[in-house]
Structures are given as structure tokens and as C-alpha cells.
Chains A and B, each alone.
Chain A
């Protein structure tokens, strides 16, 4: 299953490293990545493959959210179909 991981936070050092290692520890493969700064806010969007991830989706979502909260990051994970459905005919 492919999913979109999105990370929003105030810009700080090491956010990308922290989030990508969270994903690697859970056997999640990053297929594509983009990041931007909007004023002082950091926004990172990743397309990931969950094929090898052993966790059920809802547990994974909860873990990422909790781990994100420890560093004041807002981390979401959602199946990618929702974005395609909404923005593509």
C-alpha cells in the first residue's frame, strides 16, 4: 500500500533525519520526497511504500503521531488515493 506522510513543524535542525529514521525503523520505503519552507514553517511530504511494514495502519499512524509530538512535529499518514481522487479527474 502506498501512503503519503506529511510533516509540519516550525523549522529546526534534524527534522528530516528524525522522521526518515522513524520510517526506516519500521521498514517503510520512501519513494519520493519533497520539502518546502512556508514562512518559518517546514512542510515535508513523502510518498512511501508500506509493503514491508509489519504494523497495522492505525498503529503506525498513532506511533508516528506520538513520536512526532515528542519533537513538536505534526506527522500525518494517509493512503495516497485520497489525494489522487480529490485533485485528479
Chain B
């Protein structure tokens, strides 16, 4: 073969794609919408639609071209926009769902899979516009198909805004009452990142350029396959194997990002090297943890296994890309991961263990079905716990819970497609109503004072 390549490496790459579900999970174009602000909300919506259709016109065709030429699937093409609470702040109306509909129409017109950014950043306090946006979320998510929403309620620098936490408990409740799919498109963050290409939490931060390409790679199946080769080896070997594999996966993401950026003439932002599972067999983060020697994901040892995995993924990926960003690590969504679903159904994986796992994974409590009658206070309390983990540990945490209407513990909820299905998980029954009703702010931790 040519001096540059050898056939076993080529075969390895082809197998990763064909048999181990290696893919680029998403090419996400971030678009600044601040210039679409208008006092008239209808006009604002028109400007948003017009700009997105113009800027993102070539995104999907270019990604399809890259997919064909490199033979690497790009599963999702997405848009992320400036948090709408900022774009809409000067509107005289509070009917923000109208703007969500404009985003939805634009997303459909350009052919993307999702559009994120129906968002508000209120870690320290809520502006009038933030509050309007939060109140519009249930309607916006119910009346659109592709719009995703996120709200940042805390940060290491600012502490936790408990008023926003309370609002988000209510918002998740209301969204669930209008249809449970809405909640799958809503995420509550602490320490949200501005360049995350993954949904439902993608938005285009105000520190970002006019337009940018961020790429999210995936590949739990490839890591699992590599780990099958080192059964019984010491953890040093396990970590090294994950690093090497993450490096290869990320190199591919970097190549796709560069090509997309070049062909679209849009600057390259970051590669987010997250292991994002899908419900397909063999594409599971839980399986990786089990391959390290755990009988079932969720049992004792799971947190340590996940800590190793999350860190090794970052270490392997960071040298493979010019700019690493986003969430970067291992995702642990329950419904989107066949191994997590099995572990939850068997009762080994519980909400408490998942909470512990979020201390060391890249995000948080994700795609977890909870009983349909879960109160807003309980939802808020879960958000507060998760935000506290993020705030104290200087990491992003998130909550994406789905109260399943009319269902109780043990029932199964089907979301379809990449979102998968999940058993309804039991929560603790003690009330947190008084705690949540206090409102105000939980102060930023001591280590926020780093200057």
C-alpha cells in the first residue's frame, strides 16, 4: 500500500463505521440573531426566518456531500441560535411562542433535524424577557416540532437562582401536561456552555462569532469494541485504550468540521468529543462501563468506571482537535442507551446513582422518565440538587426529565427515534415544597472568587 497507509488501518476504520456505529453525531451551525431584534414581534419572527434560511441554506446539502465522499454518516444537522430571550427583549409582546414557530419554519425550510436556542440565561436573576420566555416554553415546545429549549439557572460564578429553579419545575410540569414529547426538548442547565452542538441544550452564546460550525462526534460502540480486547487488564491499559480510541474518533470529527467549515465558508468553532449513545444495540455507554467488569451499570463501582471513561475520552480527544469545546465527555441519557434502559428496568440503576454519576460525567440527569404525578416542587428540588453539583464542581450539569402523563413506576414510555424509550423511575416521596418556595439565590461558592 502507499507509504501513507496500511490496509489493516483502513479495514479498522471501515469496520468502525459499518459495525461499531461510528458516526459524526451532529454538525451544528451556530447563528447570531441579535440583529433580528425588533419592537414588533411579528417582524422579529420574519427577520429570524429570513436570516436562518439565508445563512443555513447550504448546511444540509454540504453535510450530505461530506457524508458521501468520506463514507461517514452525519446523523444530525442542526442549528443553534442566540438565546431568544435576548433577541426578543425589545419586543412589545410576550407571545414568544411566535418566535419559536418562526425558528421551526426556518428549520424545516433548510432541512435540519433540530434547532436550539429558545433559551434564557438567568443564573443570577431573570430579566422581564427571561421570564416571558420561560412562561412561553410549554406552548412553544408543544406547537413546534424541531425547536429545543434550554434555561441556565446557575453557575459556579453566580450561584443558583432559586426563583428560576422554581419556575423551571413549574414549566416542566406544564410542558408535560401539554404532551410529554415537549419535555424531551427542554433542558435546565447549571454552567451552560456557549458552543455545545448537542441538543436539547445547544444555543449560540453571545461571545461567539456571527456564524460558526461546531461538530459533535460520537462512538461509544467503537470504545466498547476496543475494550473487549483488554478484558482482565489493569485500569492503566483500559484508560490508555479509551484514549487511543477517542483520539481516532475525534480526528474524524476534526476532519469533518474542517471540511464543513471550508465548504460553507463559516469559521470552525469546536469539536465536542462526547460519547453520545443511541438506543441501537452496541452503541451504549452503559455497555462500556459493564465491560470494565461491572455486572450491571448502576451497581457499586459505576461512578468510578464513568470517571475513568469521561477523563480518558477528554485526554484522547484533546490532542486530536485544534479546538475542543462544548460538553466533551460521556453522556448518560437513560432512554437513549440500551444498556441504561436495561439497568433501569432491572432496578439496578436508580435516580440516586444517576445523580452520583453526574458528578463525573459530562452533563447530567438526562432523558429520565418520572411518574406523571410528580409535583413541580419535586422537579425543582431535583434541578436544585443537580445545579449544586455543577456549581460546586465547576462543571456543566443539566436536567432533562420527562413526567410521563398517566404513567407510574415500572411503566414504559416510548419517545421514538434517537430519543428511545425508558421505564418510569421511582423518586423519593418526601416533599421539598417549603425548600423550593423560599426563592432567592444560593450564593456562589468560595472557589468562585479566583481573581
Interface positions of A (Cβ within 8 A of B): 4, 6, 31-32, 34, 36, 43, 45, 47, 57-58, 61, 76-89
Contact = CB atoms under 8 A, between A and B. Distances in A.
Contact of A78 (B4, B9, B70, B248): B70
B69 A87 contact: no
A86 B68 contact: no
B4 A34 contact: no
Nearest to A33: B1
Which 5 residue pairs of A and B lie closest in terms of their CB atoms, listed nearest first? Answer: A78-B71, A85-B255, A58-B68, A87-B9, A45-B7
A34 B71 contact: no
Given A45-B11, A87-B9, 19 more contacts: A4-B5, A31-B2, A34-B1, A45-B7, A57-B69, A58-B69, A76-B71, A77-B71, A78-B69, A80-B4, A81-B70, A82-B13, A83-B9, A83-B10, A84-B5, A86-B13, A86-B252, A87-B12, A89-B319
Contacts of B252: 82, 85-86
B409 interface: no
Contacts of A83: 5, 9-10, 13
DSSP majority for the B interface?
helix
B196 to A, nearest CB: 23
Contacts of B65: 57-58
B442 interface: no
Interface in B1-37: 1-2, 4-5, 7, 9-14
B254 interface: yes
A24 to B, nearest CB: 20
25 contacts: A4-B5, A32-B1, A34-B1, A43-B7, A47-B1, A47-B2, A57-B68, A58-B68, A76-B71, A78-B69, A82-B13, A82-B71, A82-B252, A83-B9, A83-B10, A85-B252, A86-B9, A86-B251, A86-B252, A87-B5, A87-B9, A87-B13, A87-B248, A88-B4, A89-B319
Nearest to A57: B69
Contacts, number: 71
Contacts of A47: 1-2, 5
Contacts of A86: 9, 13, 248, 251-252, 255
Given A31-B2, A43-B11, A45-B1, A85 B251 contact: yes
Residue among B1, B7, B254 facing the most chain A CB atoms (10 A cut-off): B7
Contacts of B248: 86-87
Contact of A34 (B7, B69, B72): B7
Contacts of A77: 71
Interface in B385-400: none
A6 B248 CA distance: 20
Given A32-B1, A45-B11, A87-B5, A82 B72 contact: yes
Contacts of A76: 14, 71
B69 A79 contact: yes
Nearest to A80: B5
A83 B1 CA distance: 13
B69 A4 contact: no
Interface in B175-231: none
